Amino acid sequence: MIRRPPRSTPKPSSAASDVYKRQILLVVHSDEYDNQVNGIKHSYEDLITTHLHSKIEGDKCMELFMLKGEADSVSSITKDFQINKRMDTVKLVTL
């Protein structure tokens, strides 16, 4: 008897297309710059699947963005935060 895989079996994707599918972007900044973070965030709403904001100590805030999208878009949002000198920390983690 020959067993066939179910029809819904996903096709394997190339490794290159999966490299930048899901990432976490961590941004730490002073709470007085929340408006600048929001400005950048609103430019990439299609890329951000989850956004968490937390006070970490004193006036410092941590933003955690779960991203899903193309490499160019992920690179753009990361660079927008990196070039803003008011951000204390910007780290991108690829899953």
Structure confidence by residue, pLDDT tens digits, 53-65: 999 999 999 999 9
Q: Nearest to residue 50, comparing CAs of 37, 34, 64, 31?
A: 64
- Mean of the pLDDT values across residues 76-91? 97
- Mean of the pLDDT values across residues 69-89? 95
**Separation CA 70–CA 65 (nearest Å):** 15
- Region of 11 on the Ramachandran plot (φ > 0 left; ψ -120 to 50 alpha; else beta): beta
In tens, the pLDDT along 1-55 reads 566 656 554 555 554 544 557 999 999 999 999 999 999 999 999 999 999 999 9
State the pTM of this model.
0.77
Predicted pLDDT at 61: 97
95 has a pLDDT exceeding 60: yes
Predicted pLDDT at 39: 96
Strands 60-68 and 48-57: antiparallel
